[in-house]
């Protein structure tokens, strides 16, 4: 009988240990559940459409300019005109807005003004492309989304005291300004006060 008691005693201990381990495992599970949390993120994201739209608008001829064909905008990106400057002191000047109606900031990447005048032509003819207040147009000038800059284009038959500097025959110049804008943040244009 002693052998049976030893077994029976060991059985109680192993049952007790088994019950203790089960209770311990249940307690740890309950503790984990009490200390854990499930996080859920719900939301909506709206993505606006992206638009690239840099173009010309609003051509205005400056008072005092000679009569000419009115500058006309074509394809929103080209301004065409024709003018005759007959006498020294004649000039033709107009302003045009460069508008960024897109959603991207833009900067001026290239600026090409043609023709390059010969040294003789520079004696009697001048042309300029500036902002309306006279500030120079420069590469990397910013044109942020929603902004407008006004350009001033001027052609002038210069008055000279030395009449030998004037042309001896009619001269015709094909004039063009090509401005290429690209996406990016440029240098803010600081206008003269």
Model confidence pLDDT, tens digit, residues 132-169 = 999 999 999 999 999 999 999 999 999 988 888 888 88
pTM of the model: 0.72
Residue 9 confidence (pLDDT): 57
CATH number of 54-183, picked from 1.10.1060, 2.60.40, 3.60.21, 3.40.50: 2.60.40
C-alpha torsion angle, residues 179, 120, 82, 150 (rounded to 10): 40
Q: Mean pLDDT lowest for which of 16-25, 51-60, 125-134, 135-144?
A: 16-25
Q: Is the pLDDT of residue 96 over 80?
A: yes
Model confidence pLDDT, tens digit, residues 30-43 = 666 666 666 667 77
Report the pLDDT averaged over residues 73-83.
85
Residue 49 confidence (pLDDT): 75
Reference 96, options 23, 143, 154, 142; nearest CA is 154
Share of the chain above pLDDT 70, in %: 85
Q: How many CA atoms lie within 13 A of 36 on its CB side?
A: 7
Residue 32 confidence (pLDDT): 63
Q: Mean pLDDT lowest for which of 14-18, 77-81, 132-136, 181-185?
A: 14-18
Residue 41 confidence (pLDDT): 73
The domain ranges of the chain are 1-35, 54-183
Close Cβ partners of 160 (under 8 Å, ≥ 6 residues apart) = 88, 123, 124, 166
Helices (H), 76-169: 119-122
């Amino acid at each position: 009988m002693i052998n049976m008691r030893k077994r029976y005693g060991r059985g109680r201990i192993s049952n007790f240990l088994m019950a203790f381990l089960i209770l311990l495992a249940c307690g740890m599970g309950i503790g984990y559940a009490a200390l854990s949390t499930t996080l859920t993120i719900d939301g909506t994201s709206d993505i606006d459409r992206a638009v690239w739209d840099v173009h010309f608008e609003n051509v205005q001829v400056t008072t005092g300019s000679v009569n000419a064909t009115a500058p006309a905008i074509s394809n929103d990106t080209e301004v065409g005109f024709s003018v005759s400057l007959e006498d020294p002191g004649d000039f033709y000047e107009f302003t045009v807005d460069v508008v960024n109606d897109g959603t991207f900031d833009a900067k001026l990447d290239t600026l090409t003004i043609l023709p390059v005048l010969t040294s003789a032509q520079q004696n009697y003819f001048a042309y300029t492309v500036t902002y309306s207040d006279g500030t120079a147009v420069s590469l990397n000038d910013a044109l942020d989304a929603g902004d407008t800059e006004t350009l001033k284009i001027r052609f002038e038959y210069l008055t000279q005291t030395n009449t030998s500097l004037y042309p001896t025959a009619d001269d015709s110049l094909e004039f063009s300004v090509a401005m290429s804008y690209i996406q990016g943040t440029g240098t803010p244009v600081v206008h003269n006060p």
